Chain A
């Protein structure tokens, strides 16, 4: 490197002298030499930098990527978690801003041509049958999975932690991002992680299952009730995307 820089400086001085002495052919050849050296210098500098790990250009459209992450989680999830899962296991090309119109586009597509696609990214329904804020689900899931009772956010969190851990355990070389994701989740599950150490998938699964046992029965009953109510009262499109009008809400709540 240093030698190259010295050579470049020398060449520049020689070019200057040649121009001053009006030796045009010499100056031209010196300039050519100088350019070659500079080119080499550029290459040498570039080689010292680590090549940035370029995320592969995603071949899948956004909705496919979201579906992939949701299929891994198996429960309704917020965009933040979907992005984290995508980052940890898949293309790493998903961004939070791509979610803004996703649900609306899906709903429009369903309204204009119902059931034309194999699946739709839809809303999770609250116990008032309105769409839950910021949660995405998949239309092919059982209705009980797409509604929420008061305990469901916790149950879904524990379930998704189990799913992430299971997926992680299957990989021969777990990516570090995925381990970090699991550790972050496990820190909020009693007995699943110790301090800031990377979480062990087997321990995390055991701990999450233990807490799930406590909530499972009550949550299942609440969810079944809400799902049955949604099935009775809502037309297809609202069963997927939630009752939006006040009248429907009131009717559904009573």
Chain B
């Protein structure tokens, strides 16, 4: 199995997943293309660019700087701001102010130091440090270890560990953009999972990691941070199922035709030399499930969208529309039904009626 995945990837080291990538996995659990590419550790960004469909995202430098500045503000002076927020939000006792900067040991020791500190905290209970800054967690994904860096702090109150996620999007009048909150929750769920795995590995009860994560954002139009609790149980369940699926990616790979590979044959500088058409051909052999949400999560989104458009599949219209159009095979057929050019087959009467109604409304309002 390992060998087969190495073959799919070609002679380059596998891409490690970061928390964002792992969270994105949970966003579209039904996509075989993404599952196979991720399991094999293929560099999706480079692949997408090589086949001529570069992903339109990536964070702007300004957003990154803004995020870092806000994070530094929350954490400065021994997490003074964070302490105030947690005292207000969770009733953290005054005596609990311990702070450990895991980064002080140097990068090569951070993971083992995190382990040692969390182990000590779990053993000794409340007396140990409350905050762990810059911890480094690990998660086994499809046979390889990914290192995760909660930009954030795991702290414990009442014997339970919490993940704190610091994000720089604003909460205005108690409301934040739902998409951004959802993305933050997915990302925090990855950290919860990794911390639980660590505790289980050390022989402690993994349930001591709370499923409530603390989301810290700027409030209204100022830079003053505000904290809210976000329940990530649902994200955790999706993530666990998805990771489980990744370890069982074998049957997906077995169904692939023999000899298929996503190898880009990079030269000494890492520039791909394999013809783009060949790579695209290989990619098309693995079925994808494109949905508009992919645009915010997956490097391959533009490639898959183009494919969905060419194929006239209803997937490109979003899950809701796709489900409503159940039984209609594609966009062309849906249009034919709407215009009355095609007779509805058995079982299509209801949707055909709806489509005709929609068509008539459109004609009336435009004509």
Contact = CB atoms under 8 A, between A and B. Distances in A.
Interface of A: 78, 80-81, 126, 128, 130-133, 150-154, 156-157, 160, 185, 187-188, 190, 211, 214-215, 246, 249
Contact of B84 (A130, A153, A188, A215): A188
B296 to A, nearest CB: 34
A151 B98 CA distance: 4
Interface in B306-332: none
Nearest to B99: A153
B77 A150 contact: no
Contact of B97 (A131, A185, A215): A215
B94 A190 contact: yes
A188 B94 contact: no
Contacts of A160: 77
A78 B77 contact: yes
Contacts of A78: 76-77
24 contacts: A80-B76, A81-B76, A81-B77, A126-B101, A126-B104, A130-B105, A130-B106, A132-B104, A150-B100, A151-B97, A151-B98, A151-B99, A152-B99, A153-B78, A154-B98, A156-B78, A157-B78, A160-B77, A188-B77, A188-B83, A211-B94, A214-B95, A215-B95, A249-B105
B116 to A, nearest CB: 10
Nearest to B129: A150
Interface string B85-100: 0010000001101111
Contact of A187 (B72, B84, B94, B98): B84
Contact of A188 (B80, B95, B99, B106): B80
A187 B94 CA distance: 15
Q: Which of A78, A128, A157, A187 neighbours the largest number of chain B CB atoms within 10 Å of its CB?
A: A157
Contacts of B101: 126, 132-133
B78 A133 contact: no
Q: Which of B72, B95, B104, B129 neighbours the largest number of chain A CB atoms within 10 Å of its CB?
A: B104
B151 interface: no
Nearest to B78: A153
B81 interface: yes
Contacts of A126: 101, 104
A137 to B, nearest CB: 15
A154 B78 contact: yes
Given A128-B104, A130-B104, A153 B79 contact: yes
Contacts of A211: 94
Contacts of A214: 94-95
A81 B128 CA distance: 27
A81 B79 CA distance: 13
A46 to B, nearest CB: 35
Nearest to B116: A253
Contact of B77 (A151, A157, A215, A249): A157
A130 B102 CA distance: 12
Interface in B98-136: 98-101, 103-106, 128-129
A143 B79 CA distance: 24
A154 B95 contact: no
Pairs A-B, 5 closest by C-beta atoms: A153-B78, A154-B97, A150-B98, A188-B80, A150-B129
Given A133-B103, A150-B129, 8 more contacts: A81-B77, A128-B104, A153-B97, A157-B77, A157-B80, A188-B81, A190-B87, A214-B95
Contacts of A215: 95, 97
A150 B121 CA distance: 12
Q: Which of B97, B103, B105 neighbours the largest number of chain A CB atoms within 10 Å of its CB?
A: B97
A130 B110 CA distance: 13
Nearest to B73: A80
A246 B128 CA distance: 25
Given A126-B104, A132-B104, A188-B84, A153 B77 contact: yes
Contact of B99 (A81, A128, A133, A150): A150
Contacts of B78: 152-154, 156-157
Contacts of B105: 128, 130, 249
A156 B80 CA distance: 11
A151 to B, nearest CB: 6
A211 to B, nearest CB: 6
A249 B104 CA distance: 11
Interface in B45-86: 72, 76-81, 83-84
B261 to A, nearest CB: 42
Contact of B104 (A81, A133, A152): A133
Nearest to A78: B76
Contacts of B98: 150-151, 154
Contacts of B103: 133
A89 B104 CA distance: 31
Contacts of A157: 77-78, 80
Contacts of B128: 150
B110 to A, nearest CB: 12
B68 to A, nearest CB: 13
Nearest to B80: A188
Nearest to B127: A218
A136 to B, nearest CB: 14
A153 B98 CA distance: 8
A131 B101 CA distance: 11
B202 to A, nearest CB: 19
A132 B104 CA distance: 6
B77 to A, nearest CB: 4
